[in-house]
Amino acid sequence: MTANNLSRFWEWGRKIVCVGRNYADHVKEMGSLVPSGEPLLFLKPPSAYVREGSPLIFPPYSQNLHHEVELGVVLAKGGSDIPQAAAMDWVGGYALCLDMTARDIQEECQRKGHPWTLAKAFDGSCPVSDFIPKERVPDPRRLTLWLKVNGQLRQQGHTSQMIFPIPFLIHYISGVMKLEEGDLILTGTPAGVSAVQVGDELQAGIDDLLSMKFTVQRGPASAAH
Ligand code: MG
pTM (2 decimals)?
0.95
The whole-number pLDDT of residue 199 equals 97
The whole-number pLDDT of residue 1 equals 44
Q: Contact at 8 Å (CB) between 103 and 119?
A: yes
Q: What is the DSSP string of 31-98?
A: TPPPP-SS-EEEEE-GGGEEEBTBPEEE-TT-S-EE--EEEEEEESS-BSS--GGGGGGGEEEEEEEE
Local mean pLDDT, 10-residue blocks, the chain (225 residues): 80 97 89 83 97 95 97 98 98 98 96 96 97 96 98 97 97 98 97 96 95 93 65
Residue 145 CA to ligand 1 center (angstroms) comes to: 13
Cβ neighbours, 10 Å, residue 81: 9
Residue 208 CA to ligand 1 center (angstroms) comes to: 22
Residue 207 CA to ligand 1 center (angstroms) comes to: 19
Residue 70 CA to ligand 1 center (angstroms) comes to: 7
The whole-number pLDDT of residue 3 equals 56
What is the pairing mode between strands 56-58 and 210-218? parallel
Q: Contact at 8 Å (CB) between 39 and 164?
A: yes
Buried b / exposed e over 159-186, threshold 16 CB at 10 Å, is beebbbbbbebbbbbbeeeebebbbbbb
Distance CA 171, CA 179 (A): 10
Residue 42 CA to ligand 1 center (angstroms) comes to: 9
Of 37, 57, 35, 36, the closest CA to residue 48 belongs to 57
The whole-number pLDDT of residue 225 equals 63
Q: Which domains does the chain have, with CATH numbers?
A: 39-218 (3.90.850.10)
